[in-house]
A = this chain, B = another copy of it.
């Protein structure tokens, strides 16, 4: 294994990762996944992950905690801002600085663009952006890419449909940026009101072959290798009837599968409501739970790389 470029490095934006970086992380994830618990349990021994969630996210927080626990380390932090010093009017800067002193790596979720970059400047220890502003959720993009690689044995050459609410939600933007490292066909499928923000993907448009669709069946379906489904939130629609119609149109079920490639992989960042029928869960196409599992492994590998110069000794 070559020298570890992630030791003490911040994970702020998916845009910071070269293709070599991605491959290094994916290799490390394979390696960490194969360690016995007692070996993994040495990689984070006596180390602490400090987390600060200004927006709650049980799923992401638990994934990081599980990853850290699998390395034998601990997690401490603030997920409930009501009971914290933040409530007393402490600045973000001071909160970051103190968590920095109490931990070995910091996981931050914050509603503002640039919050993680700012935190990275303030802290001695490395920062992981667990979601900031409207676009960035780099570890989600990494785990999405890793899932594609594990399930399809490659990323180059894939045809990928991304379906649902493409306007809100950082996941879609981070994934698109991550995919610019590969030669892929992208199909964006959404109702007109939830199309991807053009200004946000300006950078990626030259690097990806993108086709937009109003419905999954508009030609895209039969060719894609991966359908990446996102949650459509009721609160985005002023009109409930419109919501119900969209919801019905974009649901993935057995009928969708029947028209798709036999080995199409259905992905979803979770939590899912009813965007994917439960009837899909037991098909070989259902990849969303594996994705959560790959996510834990990838985050464990990332933490191991950030905390240790050498993870294979």
Residues in A lying within 8 Å of B, measured CB to CB: 37-38, 40-42, 45-48, 50, 56, 58-59, 62-63, 65-66, 68-80, 83-86, 88-91, 93-94, 97-99, 101-103, 270-273, 278, 289, 292-293, 296
Q: How far is the CB of A269 from chain B (nearest CB, A)?
A: 11
> How far apart are the CA atoms of A66 and B49 in the complex, in Å?
9
Query: B83 to A56, Cβ gap below 8 A?
Result: yes
What's the minimum C-beta distance from A212 to chain B, rounded to whole angstroms?
28
Determine how close the nearest CB of chain B comes to the CB of A2; give it in whole angstroms.
Answer: 24
CB distance from A123 to the nearest CB of B (A): 11
**Cα A45 to Cα B41 with chains together (Å):** 6
User: From DSSP, what is the main secondary structure of chain A's interface residues?
Assistant: helix
A66 contacts B76, CB within 8 Å?
Answer: yes
Q: A74-B69, A296-B102 are in contact. Are A46 and B37 (CB under 8 A)?
A: yes
User: Can you tell how many copies of this chain the complex includes?
Assistant: 3
Partner among B70, B72, B94, B292 whose Cβ is within 8 Å of the Cβ of A271 = B94
Smallest Cβ-Cβ distance to A57: which chain B residue: B85
Assembly CA distance A257 to B68 (angstroms):
43
A69 to B99, CA, bound (A): 14
Q: Is the CB of A46 within 8 A of B41?
A: yes
Give the one of A56, A66, A77, A278 with max B CB within 10 A.
A66
Which residues of chain B are within 8 angstroms of A59 by Cβ–Cβ distance?
85, 98
Known contacts A37-B47, A90-B272, A292-B101; A80/B77 CB under 8 A:
no
